[in-house]
Amino acid sequence: MKSKQYSLKVFETTVRDEPQFMDFFDNNYMLFKDHLIVIDGELSKNIKDYLESKKLKYLNNITLPKGRTRKALEVEMKEQQVDANISAQIAQNEIAKLSSQLQNNLTVLDEMIRSGRELEVAGDLLLLNRINSGATVRVRGNVIITKIVEGAIRCEGNYMLLKASPKANIVFHDVEVDNHLLEDKLNRVELKNNEIIITPVLKKEINWA
């Protein structure tokens, strides 16, 4: 995708009196000829013809996003950083809690499961990396994955903790899990009383160090 970013000068106005409107732009043409003119309200054919004759660029009845001050941006960025730190701590606490339950012949991997690979784990799995599309992981025990899953998972344990993309194929106890329930957040998928329960842990993606 090719893209460009522009800094525009915008002049926002309304048309209450057509002759007065045209006189204003006639008198101030050099000032506004490089502006984008945003006009609220109905535009008559006379005004449209006038703007086109003056080769003025305009938009009609468009709400433009308002700029923010640098101080406001800094405050927002600090708030987002605080939220991210809190979310990361919540996720780490959840993983620590569930990791303490990983006892069934635990396998810990810190490697990307690449496309085409098939991984079979007899016990529990703690994966500190991602599963690419086209890869398949089969686990007899519980599963914790700290990065996004784009491939296939077959899990027979009591729970999974993961985040999946729309490409993923997640099967828990022979039941395919709807990807829409797993997107854009960390989820705990559990088997309780023969029922699969999905609980969002976080609503935002976490970038793990």
Residues 113-171: pLDDT tens digits?
Answer: 999 999 999 989 989 889 999 999 999 999 989 888 999 999 998 889 898 888 899 99
Residues 62-83: pLDDT tens digits?
Answer: 887 766 666 766 666 676 665 5
pLDDT at 1: 63
DSSP-based three-state secondary structure for 46: helix
Residue 27, CA distances (Å) to 22, 56, 184 in order = 9, 14, 54
CA dist 128 and 147 (Å) reads: 7
pLDDT at 206: 43
92, containing H or E segment: helix 70-99
CA dist 146 and 136 (Å) reads: 16
Average pLDDT over residues 164-192: 87
The more confident residue out of 108 and 101 is 108
171 forms beta bridges with: 154, 176
119 and 137 in contact (C-beta within 8 Å)? yes
Residues 190-206: pLDDT tens digits?
Answer: 988 888 898 887 654 44
pLDDT at 176: 92
- Is 171 buried (19+), middle (13-18) or exposed (0-12) by CB count in 10 A? middle
Band (22; pLDDT cuts 50, 70, 90)? very high
Tell me the pTM.
0.52
Residue 172 predicted with pLDDT over 80? yes
High-pLDDT (> 90) share of the chain, %: 36
pLDDT at 9: 86
